[in-house]
A and B are shown apart, each in its own frame.
Chain A
Amino acid sequence: MSKKKSTFLNMILALFVITLVAGLSLGYVNDLTKGPIAKAKLERKVNALKEVLPDFDNNPVEDVRKIASDKTKDSIEIYTASLKNTVSGTAVIGSSEKGFSGLVKIMVGFKPNGTIKNIVVLEQKETPGLGTKMKDEKFIKQFREKDPSTFNLKATKDGGDVDALTGATITTRAFGEAAQMAYDVFVAHTEPQEKFKK
């Protein structure tokens, strides 16, 4: 049970062996989990898409289109979903920098006729209990089945049709702006009867 003496050689040797074994085992585990990790990442994205899009049988993540915009730093992503080779819906990521604490990023799903299927909030840093309520069913509900060409995405206070979140007018405005951006991109970059091309 006597400890090894701390000679220079012993120290180097001990650390070398430990790091070698650690490195090898990490490499082995990495190999094992590489596949499942990639799969889990893809699934996460597809699950978000499933929430905002009607049924689809293609892989919209592969059919992503990125469009440069002067409104945001990143390019805007458009996902097209299709069922039996016809377009069943389009998901667009819209964002606004005008949230109470900056960026608000949402994913808006549109049906082919331009009405909103659903919206999910991807990123936000709003005040807990106030702005974060934009994730609640109560707020999101009012956007479903609405056509932004007739449904004004601004808050009622600003002459629109959206009931603002209590105490979070700024968040509501940012959310509306992000949704409007998504809709504008949707209109500009999607043919109404776009056929699905492989």
Chain B
Amino acid sequence: MSDQTIVISASPHVHSDRTSKKLMYDVLIALIPAFLVSIYVFGLGALLITATAVISCLLFEYVIQKYLLKTEITITDGSALITGILLAFNLPSSLPIWMVVIGSFIAIGVAKLSFGGLGYNIFNPALVGRVFLLVSFPVQMTMWPTPVENNTTLADAVTGATPLGIIKEELLYGSTMTEISTKIPSTLNLLLGFTGGSVGEMSALALLLGGIFLIARKVITWHIPVVILVTMAIFIGVFWFIDPEHYANPLIHLLSGGAILGAFYMATDLVTSPMTKKGMVVFAVGIGIITVVIRLFGAYPEGVSFAILIMNAFVPLINTYFKPRRFGNKIKSKMI
């Protein structure tokens, strides 16, 4: 970039020594705690799913770029690696392997490379892969192995619904929250991660740890995750305050499902989120509201991934209204 004075490109705007590669490896480090918890809870199944997703994402990227598009091969930039891990984190560890491969293909082939590769994709590739699988295989995608402490086996004996799934189903059946609360894990277990869920979404604590690391390393700013979680808490809080027997309390909603995983790792994806702080806030409020609307009134118990994808589509519009400062407008600023 040294011979260019004005850079006109789609995001991300990289203008420091911090390459997208370095950012990606920071994200990788941040995901380690959650990954360890998931192996502890779900055993080898979690490892197998993650390995499959990562390998097939890299492989599809290589094959498509080399033989179909005949362009530069970018598998070493770490983005396909991250996509694979995030995809795996959004899948139940009992999912058949071939479905993981299909999800990886959709994520890399359809959501990323069809739009022009890293930097041009409108939607978060891992989420597109997950939503494709969720809509296509609703049975397998909503059966979660019940966690067993210190699990080392590959076979998952018991499957059940997630806490959010249980709440939704029981509320539709007419139960009250007091009756339901005995059927779902305690708030402490939700925080630590001993609950049904996809590979990487269960331990709120481990995910928070990684999220704080990312903010400290300035890979992401606090705006998107915090605003998403606050919006959700306020919105659900209003319903819960009015009728606590028919709406779960905000803490359960924040700690269960993919809220934290989505807020810290998926919504903050540099390519598919707005460029300015103001834009990020608008984006995050949108995600929070759509998530809650889907969770409380929609057909699915969980709505974070749909909400992020929907708001991804609004990012170009948000960027038009909350424009980043253009290079060259401030005469004093240094040339790049």
Contact = CB atoms under 8 A, between A and B. Distances in A.
Interface of A: 98, 100-101, 127-130, 166-167, 169-170, 173
A169 B138 contact: no
Contacts of A98: 172
Contacts of A173: 173
Contacts of A100: 172, 299
B136 interface: yes
Contacts of B90: none
- Identify the 3 closest CB pairs spanning chains A and B, nearest first: A129-B138, A130-B138, A167-B139
19 contacts: A100-B172, A100-B299, A101-B299, A127-B299, A128-B135, A129-B135, A129-B136, A129-B137, A129-B139, A130-B138, A166-B143, A167-B138, A167-B139, A167-B142, A169-B169, A170-B169, A170-B172, A170-B173, A173-B173
B266 to A, nearest CB: 23
Contacts of A130: 138-139, 142
Range of interface residues on B (Cβ < 8 Å): 10 to 19
Contacts of B143: 166-167
Contacts of B173: 170, 173
Nearest to B300: A127
Given A101-B299, A127-B299, A166 B172 contact: no
A61 B280 CA distance: 61
Interface in B131-177: 135-139, 142-143, 169, 172-173
A173 B137 CA distance: 22
Nearest to A174: B172
Contacts of B299: 100-101, 127
Nearest to A125: B299
Given A100-B299, A166-B143, A127 B169 contact: no
A127 B142 CA distance: 13
A195 to B, nearest CB: 43
A100 B169 CA distance: 9
A166 B169 contact: no
Contacts of A127: 138, 299
A98 B139 CA distance: 20
B103 to A, nearest CB: 16
A129 B138 CA distance: 6
B95 to A, nearest CB: 13
B99 to A, nearest CB: 13
A191 B161 CA distance: 45
Nearest to A130: B138
Contacts of A101: 299
Nearest to B143: A167
Interface centre among A98, A128, A166, A173 (most CB of B within 10 A): A166
Contacts of B142: 130, 167
Interface string B116-143: 0000000000000000000111110011
Contacts of B137: 129
Contacts of B138: 127-130, 167
Interface string B199-218: 00000000000000000000
A157 to B, nearest CB: 10
Contact of B139 (A166, A169, A170): A166
